Structure 1
């Protein structure tokens, strides 16, 4: 194609005849190169973002795989702990069952023990009553002994009086002489009887003293036995109360042990269910880890495809650059129509765009919000096209519709986003294929560039 164009250029006689056709062809090629370069820039930007995303995804996948591996290990450890806990709960449940059985056996044996203690207490009460009765009899015996002692004292007094009377009778018989002999014999007999009575009284006094000593000892023993029996009765009453309390506490302990066994069984069931859940979680985590490893392999293959696409985009950019350079080289050889530019009109348009940005500042970046103002501006200045871009290069509004999806690589957009108005040299528009000049200004809000307002002026 370039050889053909050069041949047309070298034939001067034919150049003027084919100049309009060549200019139109050059314009079409220039539009194609411009679009190719723009598309290539977008492809490179997208591929760069894909590469960045793939790198982040790869890093995330590696971390996720590591964490999944750690999670599997922790699940294995948790499963081991759960199994140990299950074993411990099983042993504890067996021990608690044994405690509950022992408590039940003890509760069953307490009534018999309580009956035996009550029987012993009744026996001790009867013994205490017998001892009290025996003490009463001993007291009556002591009272009888006291009465016998009184009679004994009376007899001794009579014996002494009798001895005194016998002595007096003997003295009177001696005074009587021969006539008193018979009376002396009687007095002597009376004296002997009195002596015998005294001797009997002395022996009986000794026996009485021994009997009284034994009876006093028996009475003391009876008092001590009574006191001991009373203490025993009180002790057995305390034992009965203690056994009754123990019985209640054992019953409560047995009930609590039974509740504990029930709770332990419930906890054992829950722990067993938890163990099953942990095992299922282990299986799911291992499957997820395997899926993640497979996904990493797929992403690695995708990364290779992205790298290949990056190489294609780079080749396309080089091709577009070569095409643009060839167009510039050939365009310099062709006669160019003299531009009809009005610098004052361009400055006026720049000021009008700046004023429009002041009105748009703070408004919502929505198509229907900005559309009326931009259309009025286009009609007032007879613009070929007008548009508004966001800070990422996407179009909020364009009339006519833009031929680009994103203008982030355009020089007029870069200059505006840097905060500087821009007026391009004349060029052929890729949209209308007419020679034009692009004017762009930054859209500023809160001292920050938030977009770009641009327009094409046909020349």
Structure 2
């Protein structure tokens, strides 16, 4: 196989690999693949073996076909001989000749039958006596006849013919003094005459023809094999040139790239231009550049994805906090709106009470005016009573003077004036009591006048106070009206703010959902970037 491979003219580096392979251990030799020239040589050797085997198989099948043809020819001769005997039997049946005459003439004709120059027809009786043979006389017993190999030939022929006919193989001398040759005979029974008809053919002729055919086929095989070997040599050189080296080198390079190794440790830049190894080297260089760019990009994408994921996580947390704060703000706004509405209701109620208080103040001011008028009337009455009391006090003083004069006169009258003196004394006492009562009434009236004066001053002050309270009540009513209007406006504004806060809360929740989706997408992006980074990190480009 090595000689055939050397004839292919493959590069010498494969021979070094072959030498290294034989110098390695048996385990290493089993593991290391064959070199390309050895594989091509093995293929060429197998082709030669296949062609030679094909020629041999063809020769075997051709010999079998020729033997079958010879057997069929022998069988046809025996059939012809049997038909010849049957023709004589029909003549006997038609009465044209006697049975003995017919047999004599038939056997004589059988002795003259020849084919392939040396082959003949014979007839033997079941008892072992020959009925017809070209070289052996008739009625000769043949049961004990043996061929050179010791086979009882006629016994086997008789047994085969009596069992329906068939072929018998044996050895027979073609000529006297020659070595016996293989021969095959076909025998069958002709029942009307109870005789076995047979004929044989030498197989040696078949073998000679097969040898002649085999020599011709081998010569043709040599010519075709030489042509195929030349074509194979040229194709092998072309294949090796197209590959650029050993296919194992290309396999190792491809396996290294499949494992992610795009470094220059396995380059084949010394391979011929346009070869497979050179194309693999170009692909390795291009893939190394692409993988390096993808690895750098994957690292950048991974870093960016991590930052985006972290930012989205923080944004999601802050958005959730903002949503919670907005919910609390909305709840507080609802409470504030309820409080403002309550304040507006209270302001309206206070305004109503203020209006009623204003009415009451107007009524109180009227009553106070009446009281002031009454107090002034009381003061005037007190003054008039003081004047009357002064007048009564004057009358009492004059009455006392009159009583004193009457007493003086009664004293002058003596006994006659004693009764009058008693009356005068009583009148003077009455005048004194009247003066005392007038004096007491005068003091009471003066006290009452003083109190009425003070009460009048207090009533005047109260009246002024009521006027001030009325003015303040009008001012309070106006302020409460303004507060009520402002509360209504605040309630309306707070309602709008509450609605806006609700919308903001809804938008914030939607934003939170979008942020969560963005966070999930960022997580997926981060995961994908991590996987891409992990997948690309296994490539070695330098």
Coarse TM-score class (shorter-chain normalised): 0.5 to 0.7
From 321, 324, 341, the equivalent of 1:63 is 324
Q: Distance in 2 between matches of 1:70 and 1:107?
A: 52
| Partners of 2:288 and 2:397 in 1: CA distance | 151
Choose from 259, 271, 287 the match for 1:13: 271
2:480 corresponds, among 248, 264, 267, to 267
Shift of 1:35: 1.4
* Alpha-carbon shift at residue 74 of structure 1 (Å): 0.9
| Deviations, residues 318-370 of structure 1 (Å, cap 9, x unaligned) | 23332331x32xx5xxxxxxxxxxxxxxxxxxxxxxxxxxxxxxxxxxxxxxx
Pair 1:208–1:13, CA change in 2 (3 A):
closer
Shift of 1:22: 6.3
Q: How does 1:76-91 map to 2 (within 5 A)?
A: 76-91=337-352
Q: Which string of whole-angstrom CA distances, capped at 9 and with x for unpartnered residues, describes residues 181-229 of structure 1?
A: xxxxxxxxxxxxxxxxxxxx3x542343234223322332233223313
Change (3 A) 1:229 1:50: same
Contact 1:106/1:250 (CA < 8 Å) preserved in 2? no
State whether residues 121 and 236 of structure 1, in contact with CA within 8 Å, keep that contact through their aligned partners in structure 2.
Answer: yes
Matched, 1:209 2:457: no
Larger RCO (CA under 8 A, 6+ residues apart)? 1
Distance, in Å, in 2 between the alignment partners of 1:3 and 1:93 is 106
Is 1:289 equivalent to 2:502 in the alignment?
Answer: yes
Q: Distance between the aligned counterparts of 1:305 and 1:112, measured in 2?
A: 88
* Matches for 1:159-170 after TM superposition, within 5 Å: none
Q: CA deviation at 1:30?
A: 4.4
1:215-265 C-alpha deviation (Å, 9 max, x unpaired): 322332233223313321331232122112221222123213321331342
| TM-score, normalised by the number of residues in structure 2 | 0.46
Q: Is the 8 A contact 1:33 1:323 kept in 2?
A: yes
* Aligned counterpart, 2:169: none
Contact 1:40 1:316 in 2 (8 A): yes
Report the counterpart of residue 194 of structure 1 in structure 2: none
Report the Cα distance in structure 2 between the residues aligned to 1:308 and 1:147, rounded to whole angstroms: 139
Q: Which runs of 5+ in 1 are unaligned?
A: 154-200, 332-426, 428-459
Q: Which residue of 1 aligns with 2:431?
A: 218
Count of residue pairs brought into register by the alignment: 280
Deviation at 1:117, TM superposition (A): 1.7
Regions of 4+ moved over 6 Å: 2-5, 15-20
- Alignment match, 2:364: 103
Match of 1:47 in 2: 308
- Name the residue aligned to 1:447: none
Distance 1:315 1:234 in 2: 110
Once superposed, what is the RMSD of the aligned Cα atoms?
3.3
Cα distance, 1:112–1:43 mapped onto 2, change above 3 Å? same
1:4–1:306 distance in 2 versus 1, CA, 3 Å: farther
Partner of 1:353: none
